[in-house]
Amino acid sequence: MASPGREGFEASLAELSASAPALIAGADGLPALEAARVSLLGRKGRLTLLLKSLKDLDLEDRKRLGPEANGLKGRIEASLDEKLGALQGAALEKELDSFRLDLSLPGSPCPRGRRHPLVQTADEMAEILRRLGFSWAEGPHVESDHYNFWALNFPPDHPAMDAHDTFYVKAAPGRTLLLRTHTSPVQIRTLEAQRPPKPVRIISPGRVFRHENADASHSAVFHQIEGLCVDRGVTMADLKGTLRLFLEGLFGPGTRMRLRPSFFPFTEPSAQVDIQCTLCQGAGCPVCKRLGWLEILGAGMVHPNVLRGAGYDPEVWSGYAWGLGVERVAMLKKQVKDIRLFYQNDLRFLEQWS
Ligand code: DAH
């Protein structure tokens, strides 16, 4: 005996089997195909509902019609997949067809960067000194008063500190932190790091800070390069020879230099080093204030107190050191009249040197 819903089931199955292929084939885009899928196989789709109604049939009818209905489901799924692939392929074809690569058009510009003139100057100095056997060392911008002053043999309240007024940083009680006023603290840090004491030959380029009102030749933030050589038997002749090679490398062969007595707490003797004015060759001009000479750096023989404090016996070791301003050298070499131009990031200025 046939179950009551059998005829309706068979009719629906036949109807779906006949109409589904046309429904899918007729979908003219992805949205239409999705609508077809939902109407057939969605939660309330026609085939879904039909499959649900299988359970109302008799066992015999279920055994026969169940596989038939599931077979139809499989065929519908396969043709939905096939149609989906076809529609996606067509969409891609269309996109590719509409894309035209015109090789005759000019390319999009790719502007080339360059190093900042101060970096160029520091790199140039570092390269000369690298060839002379100096390696590169760095130290922190936020420094302790110990490294910035006391280990460098500044006596407390010495007038030499007047030129080193700076910005202080909040620190734990009993500790004084400041923005370093020179690169000389790196001398101490480098020497202290050698245990047992070893020969040292370093340069230390970097940023330094001073409480300074900005004008054409002053800035509260600027750059220095420190040099330090410590070994057995180093003399002032080594200092002079090294500085001669350095300054000739930087300002050209034949550059004349002179040493004048000076004072720094961390060197003894100390010297102010001048070069003959690069603009007037010593004749006197506004750049050298009619002196014919330009102050270029401070230097000297490392003070015995500095060596001893850093763990180097001054009876065994001696050394020389110097420090110079990167901005000053860059201004002379590139004929820049106002230090503030270096910090304004104006491309019309920066693009002049590559
Ligand atoms: N640190 C000094 C300053 O900023 C410059 C200087 C002078 C450094 C003499 C040295 C040196 O290493 O020997 O004023």
Q: How far is the CA of 323 from the centre of ligand 1 (A)?
A: 4
**Extended strands (E) in the chain:** 135-136, 142-144, 168-169, 177-179, 200-209, 221-231, 257-264, 267-276, 293-302, 318-325
Asked if the model's pLDDT at residue 205 lies above 90, the reply is yes
Residue 113's nearest CA partner among 352, 320, 289, 351 is 351
Q: Report the distance separating Cα 213 and Cα 220, nearest Å.
A: 7
Q: Do residues 182 and 223 lie in contact, with contact meaning Cβ atoms separated by under 8 Å? A: no
Q: Report the distance separating Cα 323 and Cα 226, nearest Å.
A: 4
Q: Token digits for 169? A: 């940083």
Closest ligand 1 atom to residue 152 Cα is 1
Residue with the smallest CA separation from ligand 1 atom 14 is: 182
On the CB side of 5, CA atoms within 13 Å amount to: 15
Q: How far is the CA of 228 from the centre of ligand 1 (A)?
A: 10
Per-residue DSSP letter, 215: B
What is the per-residue pLDDT across 119-132, written as a single tens digit (0 to 9) for each? Answer: 999 999 999 999 99
Tell me the β-bridge partners of 201: 229
Q: What percent of the chain has pLDDT over 70?
A: 99
What is the per-residue pLDDT across 100-122, written as a single tens digit (0 to 9) for each? Answer: 888 899 988 998 889 999 999 99
Q: Which of 45-59, 121-135, 265-279 has the lowest mean pLDDT?
A: 45-59
* Residue 75 banded pLDDT, cuts 50, 70, 90: very high
Residue with the smallest CA separation from ligand 1 atom 2 is: 323
On the CB side of 238, CA atoms within 13 Å amount to: 18
- Classify burial at 125, counting beta carbons within 10 Å of its beta carbon; exposed 0-12, middle 13-18, buried 19 or more: buried
Q: How far is the CA of 328 from the centre of ligand 1 (A)?
A: 14
Q: Determine the pLDDT at residue 1.
A: 47
SS3 139: coil
Asked if the model's pLDDT at residue 4 lies above 80, the reply is no
CATH class of the domain whose range is 117-350:
alpha beta
Closest ligand 1 atom to residue 300 Cα is 13
CA angle 264, 130, 323 (to 5 degrees): 15
Residue with the smallest CA separation from ligand 1 atom 8 is: 323
Lining residues, ligand 1, CB within 6 Å? 182, 184, 226, 264, 267, 298-300, 321-323
Q: Report the distance separating Cα 321 and Cα 299, nearest Å.
A: 6
Q: Determine the pLDDT at residue 3.
A: 61
Q: How far is the CA of 227 from the centre of ligand 1 (A)?
A: 9
Q: Report the distance separating Cα 154 and Cα 146, nearest Å.
A: 10
Q: What percent of the chain has pLDDT over 90?
A: 85
Q: Token digits for 252? A: 């050209």
Which amino acid does the sequence have at 220? Answer: A
Mean pLDDT of 320-343: 96
Q: Determine the pLDDT at residue 112.
A: 85
Average pLDDT, the chain: 94
Distance of alpha carbon 209 from its chain centroid, rounded?
22
Q: How far is the CA of 282 from the centre of ligand 1 (A)?
A: 25
DSSP secondary structure of 192-206: HT-SS---EEEEEEE
Residue with the smallest CA separation from ligand 1 atom 3 is: 182
Tell me the β-bridge partners of 143: 178
Q: How far is the CA of 42 from the centre of ligand 1 (A)?
A: 83
Closest ligand 1 atom to residue 323 Cα is 8
Asked if the model's pLDDT at residue 306 lies above 80, the reply is yes
CA angle 98, 103, 108 (to 5 degrees): 100
Q: How far is the CA of 348 from the centre of ligand 1 (A)?
A: 33
Q: Which of 155-164, 179-188, 260-269 has the lowest mean pLDDT?
A: 155-164
Q: Do residues 154 and 191 lie in contact, with contact meaning Cβ atoms separated by under 8 Å? A: no
Mean pLDDT of 307-320: 98
Residue with the smallest CA separation from ligand 1 atom 12 is: 322
Q: How far is the CA of 283 from the centre of ligand 1 (A)?
A: 28
Residue with the smallest CA separation from ligand 1 atom 5 is: 323
What is the per-residue pLDDT across 211-248, written as a single tens digit (0 to 9) for each? Answer: 999 999 999 999 999 999 999 999 999 999 999 999 99
What is the per-residue pLDDT across 188-201, written as a single tens digit (0 to 9) for each? Answer: 999 999 999 999 99
